[in-house]
Amino acid sequence: MRRAVALAANGPAADPNPRVGCVLLGGDGEVIGEGWHRGAGTPHAELVALAEARAAGHDTRGGTAYVSLEPCNHTGRTGPCAEALVGAGIRRVAYALPDPNPVAVGGAQTLRSAGIRCDLVPVEGADALVEAFAHAMTHGRPFVTWKLAATIDGRSAARDGSSQWITGPAARADVHRLRATAGAIVVGTGTVLADDPRLTVRDADGSHHERQPLRVVVGRRDIPPTARVLDDGASSLLVRERDPHLVLATLHELDVRHVWLEGGPTTAAAWLRAGVVDRVVAYVAPALLGSGAAAVGDLGVATIADAHRLATTDVAVLDGDVRITLEPVDHLDHRDHLDHLDHLDHPGGQ
């Protein structure tokens, strides 16, 4: 099962479909096929493993399939994997996680109904591979990661508005690595007007990554047709709606499972107050400004007892800068909606 999870990690993290791996054993217990899902529209992991086994002349009857996620039970771009395993004569299926997709769930029951032993075998790391997908299926909206970059006194830009570069090359390269795990990058119109960012994923040599997230600009102000977010060979979407819930509903309909939020302090505050930020990735530079734009805008907090608490889950030092990964402990009261999302918004020096 650990091998199946390792294979699943080869799949694209930002794909609309979950990452899944499969290891197929023959009746004698030897590995006869392996596979992983390479993205929407391609064969699922179970089908890849079955095809590999057959191409090598192996008999799949009486075999065992170890799959990192419950075999699907519906027909989409490909047929149901549960039925494919039944047809291949597999006698036992073990899977690490139940399928969170209400449309595809039921594969285990289909297998059991066909007389196949089917066991849930949890293994470390399986849930992390499908975290964003499972969240989207469960909550009906994409998983949201808010990224910020700030000095140790919480400033995302200097008094004159300059913000490049708060953090160093290692931190900026790390941002590109994590951007590549998202299906969309979201900023406000203020960020585009102030900084004209590209919002693309670039490799260490400066070249564009082969797989680019959708670039989403949210707000009611117009942006110039020459804005870099509209070119550079990646897809862009302008959303005139300011409500974070409606923005996420739009992206969910577009099969985006993970949103990377890079908006400035006003946009960040709106999404935090709406209670839709699921993770925070903060890059903190060992520098002081003493004035300038704060990393986040007004959260409606008047007393320390109402502070929005976060739990630290990881800390890493990147050539002097510090990356802190955090999870919300509670959610801000989002009954108050901000009415100034279109104000000047700096993305925080990345």
Q: At a CB cut-off of 8 Å and minimum separation 6, what does 13 contact?
A: 19, 132, 180, 181, 258
- Answer yes or no: is 6 a known binding residue: no
DSSP H or E stretch at residue 147: strand 143-151
d(C-alpha 317, C-alpha 283), whole Å: 9
**Among 55, 99, 34, CA closest to 73:** 99
149 is in an annotated binding site: yes
Residue 266 labelled as part of a binding site: yes
Catalytic residue among 30, 34, 46, 253: 46
Q: Is 189 annotated as a binding residue?
A: no
Is 46 a catalytic site residue?
yes
- The verdict on whether residue 153 carries a ligand-binding annotation is no
Distance CA 350, CA 150 (A): 10
195 is in an annotated binding site: yes
| 267 known member of a binding site | yes
Q: Which residues of 251-270 are buried (b: 16+ CB within 10 A; e: fewer)?
A: bbeeebbbbbbbbbbbbbbb
Has 269 been labeled as part of a binding site?
yes
Q: Which two tokens stand for residue 3?
A: 């091998």
Q: How many CA atoms lie within 13 A of 26 on its CB side?
A: 12
**265 labelled binding-site residue:** yes
Q: What is 38-68 written as a DSSP string?
A: -STTSPPHHHHHHHHHHHTT---TT-EEEES
Question: Is position 268 annotated in a ligand binding site?
Answer: yes
Q: Is 173 annotated as a binding residue?
A: no
Q: Per the annotation, where are the binding residues for NADP(+)? A: 149, 165, 191, 195, 199, 264-270
Q: Per the annotation, where are the binding residues for substrate? A: 163, 179, 202, 262
Catalytic residues: 46
Q: Per the annotation, where are the binding residues? A: 44, 72, 81, 149, 163, 165, 179, 191, 195, 199, 202, 262, 264-270
